[in-house]
């Protein structure tokens, strides 16, 4: 059975692999090819291991937000398959972009990546539910996520009830690209989705 659980430092290697594979499959044509080719799963693994080992790691992960801010107290969850192991992950915490004008949204889902072969089975929704549940437990009743405007996956957030809040440029892959914010005033709607359905 597929499982959503909290990430461990020992997951860092697989998280780095999923991160790089996801970027290379999602962003061709949006981000320069030379940047995508330069991504290193080993380097990403080191960064994610630091974040998972030190709950207040200042090491930035390049995913379109202010790279000088600390990712203090990020929470990371992974999607595990019985046969293929770690196939996706999400990270979340307090909203870091209050200067952008979205003060009514306390929490933020920073990343959500799922390998192509693992899509279409509800793992993305379950990862979002895990993030929403975690944010609520940490006192964040509302939250948002940023996604590239030209990324077809952004419709996923609308299907989960996210309201389009606005646009701004995101620094992604050493390029400024238009991004869209989707928000949930009440994260309990997302948290109602089953994270790990009971065995039938």
Q: Averaged over 74-94, what is the pLDDT? A: 94
Provide the number of structural domains found in the chain: 1
pTM of the model: 0.86
Q: Is the pLDDT of residue 56 over 80?
A: no
Is residue 9 in a domain? yes
Q: Averaged over 149-169, what is the pLDDT? A: 92
Is residue 200 in a domain? no
Kindly write down the DSSP assignment for every residue of 158-185, as one continuous string: HHTTPEEEEEEEEEETTEEEEEEEEEES
Q: How far is CA 113 from CA 98, 102, 104, 139, in A?
A: 24, 24, 26, 24
Q: How far apart are CA 193 and CA 190, in angstroms?
A: 6
Return the closest-CA partner of residue 135 out of 192, 195, 188.
188
Is residue 142 in a domain? yes
Is residue 134 in a domain? yes
Return the closest-CA partner of residue 69 out of 171, 138, 150.
171
Look-up of token digits 């192509």: 116
Is residue 199 in a domain? no
**Which domain range does residue 150 map to?**
3-191
Residues 127-152: tens digit of each pLDDT: 999 999 999 999 999 999 999 999 88
Is residue 178 in a domain? yes
- Confidence grade of residue 61 (pLDDT, cut at 50, 70, 90): very low
Is residue 196 in a domain? no
What is the domain-level CATH number for residue 102? Answer: 3.40.630.30
Sheet with 85-94, side-by-side order of all strands:
3-6, 75-81, 85-94, 107-114, 143-148, 175-184, 163-172
Q: Averaged over 3-23, what is the pLDDT? A: 96
Is residue 149 in a domain? yes
């Amino acid at each position: 059975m597929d499982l959503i659980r909290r990430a461990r430092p020992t997951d860092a290697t697989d998280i780095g692999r999923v991160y790089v594979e996801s970027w290379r499959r999602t962003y061709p044509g949006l981000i320069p090819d030379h940047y995508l080719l330069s991504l290193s799963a080993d380097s990403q693994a080191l960064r994610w291991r630091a974040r998972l080992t030190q709950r207040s790691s200042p090491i930035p992960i390049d995913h379109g937000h202010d790279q000088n801010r600390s990712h203090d107290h990020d929470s990371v969850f992974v999607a595990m398959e019985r046969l293929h192991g770690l196939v996706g992950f999400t990270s979340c915490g307090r909203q870091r972009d209050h200067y952008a004008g979205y003060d009514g949204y306390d929490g933020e889902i920073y990343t959500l990546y799922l390998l192509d072969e693992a899509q279409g089975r509800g793992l993305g929704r379950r990862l979002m539910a895990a993030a929403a549940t975690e944010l609520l437990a940490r006192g964040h009743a509302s939250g948002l996520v940023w996604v590239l405007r030209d990324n077809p996956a952004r419709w996923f957030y609308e299907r989960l009830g996210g309201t389009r809040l606005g646009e701004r440029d995101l620094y992604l892959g050493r390029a400024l690209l238009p991004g869209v914010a989707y928000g949930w005033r009440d994260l309990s709607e997302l948290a109602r989705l089953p994270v790990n359905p009971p065995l039938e």
